[in-house]
Amino acid sequence: MNKHEKTKQRTLKASISLTGKGLHTGLPVTITLRPAVENYGYVFRRIDLPDAPTIKCHAENVVSTDRSTTLSSNGVTVSTVEHCMAALYACGIDNCLIDINNSELPILDGSSAEYVHKIKQVNTIRQTADREYFTPKNILEYSDGYARLTLIPDNQFSIELDINFKSPILGKQYVQLNSLSEFADKFSPCRTFVFIKEIQELLQRGLIKGGCLNNAIVIYDEQIKQEELNAIADTMSVERQSAEKLGYILSRPLLFPNEPAGHKLLDLIGDLALTGHFINGKIIAHCPGHRVNNMFARTLIHEITA
């Protein structure tokens, strides 16, 4: 008998709201996370559109993994969902209706910390239906280039994750999560990050309009011209600094030496939440990213529904 068989589903005890700007659109947005009935899962509702169309949070509804995870259904999209999904999943919430009045979730401080804080303020309530768990019968793996994700059967959820960007500033890092109970303190505050060489391209593509040093870690690992660095600083509304000094460009110090790897783990949990199941198993993640995360989630769904 699976020891998790009698674990019941949970939802929020009360609604919570968060307001901010979208990371890529820069547009103001408010989301309200509401309690939902059992077996509902996670669902977005675009209340800014006629008839308030809904989008089921499911890996097969992912239509883009370019810099973030974007869901689409019923002719509408919602993007940068992963930080919210990670918080709901790690806080043990099975069912939630998420009202949103724009196309992209607020980036907030670039992490899941504010979601977790708000959820803990209102707490959760136990429902009557059993929680949906997935325990693999065999080792499951998906790889794409250098990226590789492996799920090993186990009676609990854990993650070992490493990254290697071959950068003089951000090279190899490793993090380990032994249970979801560690997420709130050790991983939810880990901020998103971007390399300096990526910023100009992203700005030219009309992305990261809501990015600033309050919600991102900038990795300055490749010297550029002073005027180019000044232009980026001005665009992101941050203080100019010398182009000769490589390192992290930060508004506040790193929370942990391996904070970037911690954020990759946060993203992975958010993307795997789209399986619709809590997972029993040990995940070994090498150089994960939204694309490989989503393909791995689809692989798990195939096993779940087989």
The answer as to whether 175 is a domain residue is no
Please indicate, yes or no, whether residues 276 and 237 belong to a single structural domain of this protein: no
Alpha helices in 81-171 (DSSP H): 82-90, 113-122
> pLDDT-derived band of residue 209, with 50, 70 and 90 as boundaries?
low
Please indicate, yes or no, whether residues 85 and 117 belong to a single structural domain of this protein: yes
Q: How many CA atoms lie within 13 A of 305 on its CB side?
A: 9
The answer as to whether 235 is a domain residue is yes
Please indicate, yes or no, whether residues 32 and 96 belong to a single structural domain of this protein: yes
Has 83 been labeled as part of a binding site? Answer: yes
The answer as to whether 222 is a domain residue is yes
Has 277 been labeled as part of a binding site? Answer: no
Structure-token match 């660095």, residue found? 229
Average confidence score pLDDT of the chain? 92
The answer as to whether 256 is a domain residue is no
- Which is it for strands 96-100 and 217-220: parallel, antiparallel or unpaired? unpaired
The radius of gyration of the chain from alpha carbons, rounded to an integer in Å, stands at 19
Comparing CA positions, the residue from 128, 260, 126, 239 lying closest to residue 192 is 260
Comparing CA positions, the residue from 59, 48, 41, 155 lying closest to residue 99 is 48
- pLDDT tens for residues 258-281? 999 999 999 999 999 999 999 999
Say if residues 230 and 240 touch (Cβ distance below 8 Å): yes
Instruction: Give CA–CA dist 217/214, Å, rounded.
Output: 8
The answer as to whether 242 is a domain residue is yes
> pLDDT-derived band of residue 1, with 50, 70 and 90 as boundaries?
very low
The domain that holds 301 is classified in CATH as: 3.30.230.20
Please indicate, yes or no, whether residues 20 and 76 belong to a single structural domain of this protein: yes
Q: What is the mean pLDDT of residues 220-245?
A: 84
Please indicate, yes or no, whether residues 30 and 131 belong to a single structural domain of this protein: yes
Please indicate, yes or no, whether residues 108 and 222 belong to a single structural domain of this protein: no
Please indicate, yes or no, whether residues 237 and 119 belong to a single structural domain of this protein: no
The answer as to whether 98 is a domain residue is yes
Q: What is the pLDDT of residue 218?
A: 87
Q: What is the pLDDT of residue 172?
A: 95
Q: What is the pLDDT of residue 86?
A: 99
Please indicate, yes or no, whether residues 14 and 76 belong to a single structural domain of this protein: yes
Instruction: Give CA–CA dist 169/220, Å, rounded.
Output: 8
The answer as to whether 148 is a domain residue is no
Q: What is the mean pLDDT of residues 75-101?
A: 98
Instruction: Give CA–CA dist 164/35, Å, rounded.
Output: 39
* Ramachandran region, residue 82 (left: φ > 0; alpha: ψ -120 to 50; beta: rest): alpha
- Note if 290 is an active site residue: yes
Count how many domains the chain has: 2
* pLDDT above 70: residue 306: yes
Comparing CA positions, the residue from 57, 41, 22 lying closest to residue 294 is 57
Domain ranges, residue 244: 193-249
Please indicate, yes or no, whether residues 74 and 36 belong to a single structural domain of this protein: yes
* pLDDT above 70: residue 100: yes
Please indicate, yes or no, whether residues 126 and 14 belong to a single structural domain of this protein: yes
Q: Where are the beta strands (DSSP E) in 107-242?
A: 124-130, 133-134, 140-144, 147-153, 157-164, 172-177, 193-195, 217-220
- pLDDT tens for residues 119-151? 999 999 999 999 999 999 999 999 999 999 999
The answer as to whether 169 is a domain residue is no
How far from chain centre, in Å, is Cα 199?
20
Please indicate, yes or no, whether residues 211 and 275 belong to a single structural domain of this protein: no
Give the Å distances, CA to CA, from 49 to 69, 78, 104, 254: 21, 12, 13, 39
Instruction: Give CA–CA dist 102/188, Å, rounded.
Output: 24
Domain boundary residue, one of 249, 275, 296:
249
> Among residues 24, 58, 277, 290, which one is catalytic?
290
pTM: 0.94
Q: What is the pLDDT of residue 92?
A: 98
Please indicate, yes or no, whether residues 268 and 224 belong to a single structural domain of this protein: no
Has 286 been labeled as part of a binding site? Answer: no
